[in-house]
Homo-oligomer: A and B are copies of this chain.
Amino acid sequence: MTNTPQASSDRKGLVEVFTGDGRGKTTAALGVILRALGHDFRVCIIHFMKGNYPYGEQKTLARLPNVTLAVFGRASFVDPHNVEEEDRKEARRALNAAREAMLSGKYDLVVLDEVNVASAWGLVGLDEVIKLIEDKPQNVELILTGRYADKKLIELADLVTEMVAIKHPFDEGIEARPGLDY
């Protein structure tokens, strides 16, 4: 291992997937970002379905250089049994923004947050996400997060972690907590 970051043109960027029902998918992506920024990587995060929810991470990320954050989706949560046209529009905007960021040459790391869910629920086509992965420039690292990652996405990825909930307090009626869960 060397401590010298590779020039971005030489770097072999991978496709990573964080999926599963456990805590730690978006959270792990945030951790990768924190680490990447320490090596002066340029990072773009695209939120696919989170509206303008005031996540704690947005405040911290705003304090750091070299991070671009783009949030798509309505403020309310998507109902998978009743997806609205607006949800699809927003997810499509997110996908377009992701493509643009990935191909811009401006970023070393692009995070597609909750894209797995957006795809599983039909907000964007699985084929469109696959196409995005196939078009990834060699030196860009791409991270896809969210439950329900399709097996085709897992096949295409270089690194896949499934976060398995062994114990989760939300199951026992403890609500999501500011500062820790969002």
Contacts and interface: CB of A to CB of B under 8 A. Distances in A.
A116 interface: no
A131 interface: no
A39 B61 CA distance: 12
Interface residues of A, number: 68
A167 B58 CA distance: 30
Interface string A33-52: 11111111100000000000
B34 A60 contact: yes
Contacts of A179: 5, 35-36, 38-41, 108-109
A57 interface: yes
A1 B61 CA distance: 22
Given A27-B28, A28-B23, A35 B180 contact: yes
Interface in A130-182: 141, 154, 157-169, 174-182
Given A29-B31, A64-B63, A167-B159, A36 B180 contact: yes
Contact of A159 (B20, B23, B34, B40): B23
A26 interface: yes
A87 to B, nearest CB: 20
A67 to B, nearest CB: 10
22 contacts: A1-B175, A3-B54, A3-B178, A14-B169, A14-B174, A22-B161, A24-B163, A28-B31, A35-B181, A37-B59, A38-B55, A38-B56, A38-B59, A39-B179, A41-B179, A109-B180, A157-B167, A158-B167, A158-B174, A159-B168, A160-B166, A160-B167
Given A23-B161, A108-B179, A162-B166, 7 more contacts: A22-B163, A23-B28, A35-B56, A36-B180, A64-B64, A109-B179, A163-B164
